[in-house]
């Protein structure tokens, strides 16, 4: 049961990171903000399902898609 919870948490964090990074890079494409965008996206990933929900809602339902680079 714990393993399922850990996998679910990591999957939500992974998707939350991708959505948050895509939104921040889409809204603030300036290279000056690039490092800060990754820090915020990593913070969203840390919160797992809550971070995924927050990223999904704040990004207008993943308007910019997913991004990991």
pLDDT of residue 33: 80
Residue 50 in domain: yes
pLDDT of residue 32: 85
Residue 54's pLDDT band, with cuts at 50, 70 and 90, is very high
Residue 13 in domain: yes
The total number of structural domains that make up the chain = 1
Query: d(Cα 66, Cα 5) in Å, to the nearest integer?
Result: 23
Residue 10's pLDDT band, with cuts at 50, 70 and 90, is very high
Q: Name the DSSP class of 64.
A: T
Domain residues for the domain of 37 are 2-58
Predicted TM-score (pTM) of this structure: 0.89
Query: What average pLDDT does range 31-44 have in this prediction?
Result: 88
């Amino acid at each position: 049961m714990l393993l399922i919870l850990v996998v679910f948490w990591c999957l939500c964090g992974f998707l939350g990171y991708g959505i948050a990074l895509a939104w921040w890079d889409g809204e603030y494409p300036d290279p000056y903000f690039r490092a800060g965008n990754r820090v915020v996206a990593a913070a969203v990933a840390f919160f797992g399902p809550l971070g995924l929900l927050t990223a999904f809602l704040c990004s207008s339902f993943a308007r910019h898609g997913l991004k990991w680079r």
